[in-house]
């Protein structure tokens, strides 16, 4: 296991991984999060009727900006030339908004952290814009769905986790 922890040196100290010997390849990662709220709150979001404004538009921009700023937030992440980032939203049932963030680059390391950060910050933005209407909103299921490219190849997550009951 210790041999697999690439962010630790031989003494166990944290380090940034040297990726200079890796080939530049096309890479993509997709992550998701779910925001669970009362049906009335979700309806306000979907109808664009939240008093703070267009929740979806604000969360989309926040997620894209977060992907670009990931190395400023996660200490050992490499700054990457992101070539594309998107954040999409989908209602699930009457009380859940699913967020899917996709990030692309051509580089020497993957964009998994950028996709996860985009989904997380989009979810936090939804909470921020809706907290006046409902304090009990939950953010759940932040996870990597898939990654493509790089030495380790492609990877896809198993079936999505089930939402916990309210």
CATH number belonging to domain 27-152 = 3.30.70.640
For residue 129, CA distances in Å to 49, 57, 118, 123, 138 come to 11, 11, 16, 10, 13
- What's the pLDDT at 162? 58
- What's the pLDDT at 109? 87
- What's the pLDDT at 163? 53
Task: Kindly name the residue from 18, 95, 128, 154 that is annotated as catalytic.
Answer: 128
Q: Say if CB 54 and CB 45 are below 8 A apart.
A: no
Chain centre to alpha carbon of residue 109: 17
- What's the pLDDT at 7? 66
Which pTM does this prediction carry? 0.88
Domains of the chain, by residue range, sit at 27-152
- What's the pLDDT at 5? 54
- Is the Cα dihedral 48, 115, 123, 97 positive or negative? positive
For residue 165, CA distances in Å to 57, 130, 132, 138, 151 come to 28, 20, 23, 11, 39
Cβ neighbours for 16, distance < 8 A, ≥ 6 positions apart: 7, 76, 78
Q: Residue 63 in 3-state DSSP?
A: helix
The structure tokens 């999060």 sit at: 33
Report the alpha-carbon distance of residue 158 to residue 35 in Å, rounded: 20
Pick from 52, 126, 115: nearest CA to 89:
126
Per-residue pLDDT of the chain (166 residues; tens, 9 = 90+): 345 656 666 777 777 777 877 878 899 999 999 999 999 999 999 999 999 999 999 999 999 999 999 999 998 898 999 999 999 999 999 999 999 999 999 988 889 999 999 999 999 999 999 999 999 999 999 999 999 998 888 999 997 655 555 4
Q: Quick check: is 128 catalytic?
A: yes
The structure tokens 């309210």 sit at: 166
SS (H, E, C) 13-25: CECCCCCCCCCCE
């Amino acid at each position: 296991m210790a041999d697999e922890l690439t962010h630790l040196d031989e003494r166990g100290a944290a380090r940034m991984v040297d990726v200079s010997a890796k080939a530049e390849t096309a890479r993509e990662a997709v992550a998701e999060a779910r925001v669970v709220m009362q049906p009335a709150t979700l309806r306000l979001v979907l109808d664009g009727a939240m008093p703070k404004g267009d929740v979806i538009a604000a969360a989309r921009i926040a997620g894209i900006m977060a992907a670009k700023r990931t190395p400023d937030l996660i200490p050992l992440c490499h700054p990457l030339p992101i070539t594309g980032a998107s954040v999409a939203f989908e209602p699930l049932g009457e009380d859940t908004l699913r967020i899917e963030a996709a990030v692309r680059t051509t580089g020497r390391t993957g964009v998994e952290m950028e996709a996860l950060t985009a989904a997380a910050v989009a979810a936090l933005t939804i909470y921020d814009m809706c907290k006046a209407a409902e304090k009990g909103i939950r953010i759940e299921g932040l996870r990597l769905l898939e990654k493509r490219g790089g030495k380790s190849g492609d990877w896809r997550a198993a079936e999505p986790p089930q939402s916990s009951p309210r």
